[in-house]
Structure 1
Amino acid sequence: MHLAGQIAWGDAPTWAGFVAAIIAAGFAAASFIKLKQQVDEQSSFIAEQRAFMAEQSATLALERQALQAAAGDRRTAQSRLVDMRSLVSRSNRVVTVTNRSNGTITNVQVKFGPYVASQIWETNSAESVVSTAPLLNPVPVVGAMRGAQFTLNGHTEATLVNNPPVLTFTDEGGVRWSVDDQGVYTELGSGT
């Protein structure tokens, strides 16, 4: 039996162990709470970083699209300045190709279905014939603000109408183009 105020020294180590366990449990709980706060902070930071990276990816995708569009515009700019006009009569079709760009175009040819031009003449930007001798087919070079007139002779009007002209040429960038009688430009690739 123990008296009040007397310590039972046999139980003191048990009580000291109990107090130490409570203190250790307190430290463990505090450590766990601190660890949970750190995990929550890291999760929040990671979520913010993911949102930032998604925003950056979207921005980069838009910039890439803009750059690709600008590159496409630069690639097609010269080709859009090359035009073709066509006139049909009963026995011939005359196609005038004019290079209104500041650069040259090469390997210029107009085909009329399976037929090729019987005569080709150099023209100026006003589409007036300026050459004294016919040009080669295909025309090797058409300079800036110059052109060529392709004539298909000796066919019936039906043949001329049923075989519309198709212009092909290579721009200064080495890209091969096709233009049909409706004014539709088609990129054929590089050097083909």
Structure 2
Amino acid sequence: MDAGDLATWVGSTFAAIAAGATLWTLKSQRDQIGEQRTFIGEQRMFMVEQSATLALEREELRAVAEDRRWAQARQIRMYQRQVGARLDGAGQQVTPNDHWAVTVQNGSDAPVHQLEVRFGTAHLAAEVYEWPAFEPAQLRATVGDRLVMPVFLLGPRRALRFASQAWPETTVHNNRPTLFFTDDNGVRWSLDSQGKLEEVPAEPQA
């Protein structure tokens, strides 16, 4: 082999080695890029899963907090009856049912405050008394002391009896009662005669 052929052979050999090294470097870089993309994709999936988990946990905490917010208010009960009728000796009604008698019970373990009953759209209860009978069916129980409205406090497992003014029999049904009260956390609520419980929006500050 002469000098020219040897130089060509050596040059070709080094060129092949360089080309091989370049190809190996490119493949290695592609592999690294692929691994990085895979890692980034896995991290993104992990972050999405973590975000979904955190959102679910926040929703569960919110639901628990909301249940706690409503817990005491749901244990306040209101029972109403139209009363006032008088029966004759034969058991026939001779006077109309002309007013409402409303029993309010606090079935919770904490007091409630600022209780009042409104009839229709604007009529406040005419009277309110302590009510020793916790069962609403006991309409003839001996009433307790007469109280001033709104009643400042109703303790746990205690009851009140509210009475409306008298109306004509054709009108009394249109003036159904709604109870308003404030729970032990300071939230104001309303409970209507159909059992619908709602939070009362706070009045804007003057």
What is the root-mean-square deviation of aligned Cα atoms in Å? 2.2
Structure 1 pair 19/74, CA: closer, same or farther in 2 (3 Å)?
Answer: same
Runs ≥4 in structure 1, deviation > 3 angstroms? 14-22, 126-130, 189-192
What is the alpha-carbon distance in structure 1 between the residues aligned to residue 148 and residue 57 of structure 2?
A: 45
Partner of 1:86: 80
Letter in 1 for 2:144: S
Deviations 1:153-182 (A, max 9, x none): 221123221121111111111111111111
Secondary structure, in 3 states, of the residue corresponding to 1:26?
helix
Distance 2:161 2:105 in 1: 9
Conserved in 2, the CA contact under 8 Å of 1:84 and 1:167? yes
* Cα distance in 2, alignment partners of residues 157 and 98 from structure 1: 27
2:144 is aligned, of 125, 131, 150, to 131
TM-score if structure 1 supplies the norm length? 0.86
Corresponding residue to 2:32 among 38, 41, 46 = 38
Gaps of 5+ in 1: none
Match of residue 129 from structure 2: 121
TM-score by length of 2: 0.81
- Shifted more, 150-159 versus 134-143: the winner is 150-159
1:95 aligns with 2:90: no
Q: How far did residue 7 of structure 1 move?
A: 1.4
Partners of 1:35 and 1:129 lie apart in 2 by 93
How many residue pairs align between the two structures?
185
How far off its partner does 1:18 sit?
A: 4.8
Of 3, 13, 26 in structure 2, the residue corresponding to residue 7 of structure 1 is 3
Given residue 106 of structure 2, which amino acid in structure 1 is its aligned partner? Answer: N
Listed one character per residue, the Cα deviations across residues 94-121 of structure 1 (whole Å, up to 9, x for unaligned) are 1111001110000111101211111000
Tell me if the contact between 1:86 and 1:93 (Cα under 8 Å) persists in the aligned partners. Answer: yes
Does 2:62 correspond to 1:65? no
Indicate the percent of aligned positions where both proteins have the same amino acid: 40
Pairs within 5 Å for 1:11-30? 12=7, 18-30=12-24
